[in-house]
Amino acid sequence: MKIVIGGAGVVGLQIARQLIAEKKDIVLIEIDGDQARYAGERLDCMVINGAVNNISVLRQAGLDNADYFIAVTGSDEINMISCAMVAQHFPTLYKVARIRNIEYSESIYQHGGFMGVDWVVTPEIETAQAVIRSIEHGATSDVMVFQHSDVQIRSFTIDAESTLVERTLEEAGSLIPIPFLVVVILRGDTYIIPSGDTRVEKGDVLYVVTTRRGLDHLFDALGKHRRELRRIILVGGGRVAVEILSHLYAGNHGTVFDSQPPGRQPARRRDPDVKVIERDKAKSRQIADLFPKAVVINADIGDDELFEEEHLDLADVIVATTEDQELNIVTAVYAKSRGIPRAIVLVGKANYIKIAANLGIDASVSLKNATVDSVLRFIRGRSSVSTVYSIFDGTVEVIELPVNEHCKAAGKRIRDLPLPKNSLVVAVIRNGEHLIPRGDLEVHAADQVIAIARSTDIDRIQRLFTVPA
């Protein structure tokens, strides 16, 4: 499969890196000479130094035999126009564009193929959705939800009060009366695919698979008591914050508790009690005008008196979304020390996600990851994968995919599957029911399989389940 990526910025490079790991042919187009050289030196792909919106450069990139064109330059307009040019000259390609300006969003979402773009990535919206998902699930962790079942993967930071500290996973399994599976543990800079006798340490981040129903027990056992998050503090009034606010006040989000018995309609919830702290006066005014129900405070979050003045420590969760990621982390840590039980931060750099987890911040979302995940989801979606999450800066991915009737895996027991090293089938969903993938479970056609693997092995897993033998 050949993919042409326009723009070798942070996002372009990350997408290229993950796709190269899957043995895809990548061509990068970058206008900046230094950046192009940097990409060429570090990535195993072709790099063209030229303008993305130049048809001869596009031809040179070999679009005539490519499958995807992904425009992720810094400019919305260049992204759209290059997609339009590609659409005109190479109509069979799938075209993906990153568009950040919300002014365009109405035309994009209403008219489908706007300017020939097949898939629009709006990082702020994706990020806001990640934050909302986290808030709705109690902001205890990062949340991965899947399309075909109520199975979730959650990350849990183990703190000192947790009953699991210094226990093996086997002991943990007997302590907690519901089925769950720890699929991967993040410890410091490394990650471990655990076995039954792996011992949990303080500061570990556990990625756990379970159903919604089982969560409450887990939360108790892990020392995190679930609470309704009604009083929300939003630090920063940027575009991510605006998207979060419009979700919060749209009324279309369910309850904060996700342990609703299935089938029962969630009760119509009261509007959340949101305080927005924004330093810039004009921005504050803009948000106050857009969201009359929110209390907008024009102040610096670094101002210590603000906590007393606005009783910020009574909040249930603080969401730091300023453009300054260090400030976000510091704010979240300080807020937690003042007694705010949950904190979510917006970060940019990948290693900051680990740092944030180590500092006890409950969940971190990243604009870059949201963008990359969205692009990958589209590309995989073309080949029947429905959900993609990348973790550990894209070195590990979680995918959801259907089992093909004639594939190699159909009818085999899990222990007999030729799975790549360090990969794991974490859940099998049959007729909407979640099955624990023990070694003797047979994989049937039409099952949905959720698997975790290194990025480099994703392609093999995909072939194993979806390509007819």
Partner 1 sequence: MNPKLVIRIVAILLIVISAFMLLPVIVALYYEEYDSIAPFIGTLLGTVIVAMTAVGLTASERKQLGTRDGFLMVTLSWLTAAGVGAIPFYLSGSIPRYVDAFFETMSGFSTTGATILTDIEALPYSMLFWRSLTHWLGGMGIIVLTVAIFPILGVGGLQLLKAEVPGPSVDKITPKITETAKTLWLIYLGLTVAQTVLLMLGGLSLFEGLTHTFGTLATGGFHPKNASVGHYGSTYINVVTTVFMLMAGVNFILYFKTLTGRFRAVTGDTEVKAYLGIFFVTALGTSLALWRQGAYSGLLESLEHGAFQVASILTTTGYVTDDFSLWPPLAQTFLLLLMFFGGCSGSTGGGVKIVRIVTLAKLAVTEMKYLLHPRGVFGVRLSGVPIRESVVHAVAGFIVLYIMSLLVITLVIGSSGADLVSSFSTALATLGNIGPGFGLVGAAENYAHFPDYIKWFLSLVMMMGRLEIFTVLILITPRFWKP
Q: DSSP state, 214?
A: G
Does residue number 309 form part of the binding site for partner 1 (CB under 8 A)? yes
Burial class (CB in 10 A: 0-12, 13-18, 19+), 160: exposed
Residue of the chain from 55, 299, 330, 355 that contacts partner 1 (CB under 8 A): 299
Contact (CB, 8 A) for 269 and 257: no
Considering only 297, 344, 414, 449, the residue that binds partner 1 (CB under 8 A) is 297
251 binds partner 1 (CB under 8 A): no
- Residue 234 binding partner 1, by CB under 8 A: no
Residue written as tokens 């042919």?
Answer: 25
Q: Minimum Å distance from CB 228 to partner 1?
A: 23
Residue with smaller CB distance to partner 1, 296 or 361: 296
> Pairing between strand 181-187 and 205-211?
antiparallel
Does position 102 bind partner 1 by CB under 8 A? Answer: no
Our CB check for partner 1 shows the closer of 229 and 287 to be: 287
Q: Which stretch binds partner 1 (CB under 8 A): 140-148, 226-234, 278-286, 433-441?
A: 278-286
Shortest distance, CB of residue 331 to partner 1, whole angstroms? 17
Comparison of 106 and 201: residue with beta carbon closer to partner 1: 106
Q: Is 420:462 a contact under the CB 8 Å cutoff? A: no
Q: Is 18 helix (H, G, I), strand (E, B) or coil?
A: helix
Q: DSSP states of 414-446 as a string? A: GGGS-PPTT-EEEEEEETTEEE---TTPBP-TT
Pick the stretch among 37-45, 280-288, 389-397, 418-426 that binds partner 1 (CB under 8 A).
Answer: 280-288
Judged by beta carbon, residue 301 or residue 443, the one nearer partner 1 is 301
**Selected binder of partner 1 within 41, 197, 289, 308 (CB under 8 A):** 289
List the one residue from 24, 230, 253, 285 that touches partner 1 (CB under 8 A): 285
Looking at the Cβ atoms of 43 and 295, the one nearer to partner 1 is: 295
Contact 463, 402 (CB under 8 A): no
Q: What is the DSSP letter of 358?
A: H
Rounded Cα distance between 421 and 336, Å, is 39
**Separation of alpha carbons 298 and 235, rounded Å:** 11
- Binding region for partner 1 (CB under 8 A) out of 21-29, 88-96, 201-209, 282-290: 282-290
Return the number of the residue (25 or 310) whose C-beta is nearest partner 1. Answer: 310
CA distance 426 to 182: 9
Annotate 104-169 with three-state secondary structure. Answer: HHHHHHHCCCHHHCCEEECHHHHHHHHHHHHHHCCCCCCEEECCCCCEEEEEEECCCCCCCCCCEH
Cα→Cα distances 11→15, 71, 129, 132, 371, Å:
6, 10, 19, 22, 7
Segment near partner 1 (CB under 8 A); pick from 40-48, 136-144, 295-303, 414-422 = 295-303
Complex with partner 1: residue 169 or 287, whichever CB lies closer: 287
Q: Which stretch binds partner 1 (CB under 8 A): 203-211, 304-312, 318-326, 434-442?
A: 304-312
If binding is defined by CB under 8 A, does position 310 make contact with partner 1? Answer: yes
- Minimal distance in Å, beta carbon 120 to partner 1? 23
Question: Of the two residues 117 and 312, which places its CB atom closer to partner 1 in the complex?
Answer: 312
* Closest separation in Å from C-beta 233 to partner 1: 13
| Total residues interacting with partner 1, rule: CB under 8 A | 15
Nearer to partner 1 by Cβ, of 271 and 309: the residue is: 309
Complete DSSP assignment for 281-318? HHHHHHHHHH-TTSEEEES-TT-THHHHHTTGGG-SEE
Nearer to partner 1, 67 or 310 (CB): 310
How far apart CA 322 and CA 282 sit, in angstroms, is 15
Rounded to a whole number of angstroms, the minimum distance from the CB of residue 336 to partner 1 is: 23
Nearest to 432 by CA among 146, 150, 145: 150
Nearest to 132 by CA among 4, 241, 215, 222: 241
C-beta closer to partner 1: residue 182 or 296: 296
Minimum Å gap between C-beta 278 and partner 1 is: 8
Q: For the purposes of burial, counting CB atoms within 10 Å of the CB of 364, is it exposed (0-12), middle (13-18) or buried (19 or more)?
A: buried
Give the binding range for partner 1 (CB under 8 A) out of 2-10, 39-47, 284-292, 407-415: 284-292
306, 330, 350, 435: residue in contact with partner 1 (rule CB under 8 A): 306
Contact 283, 302 (CB under 8 A): no
How many angstroms separate the Cα of 441 from the Cα of each of 146, 208, 399, 408, 416? 21, 20, 19, 15, 10
Cβ 236 to partner 1, closest distance in Å? Answer: 14
Residue 287 near partner 1 by CB under 8 A? yes
Smallest distance from partner 1 to CB 108, Å = 19
User: Where does this chain bind partner 1 (CB under 8 A)?
Assistant: 281, 284-285, 287-289, 292, 295-299, 306, 309-310
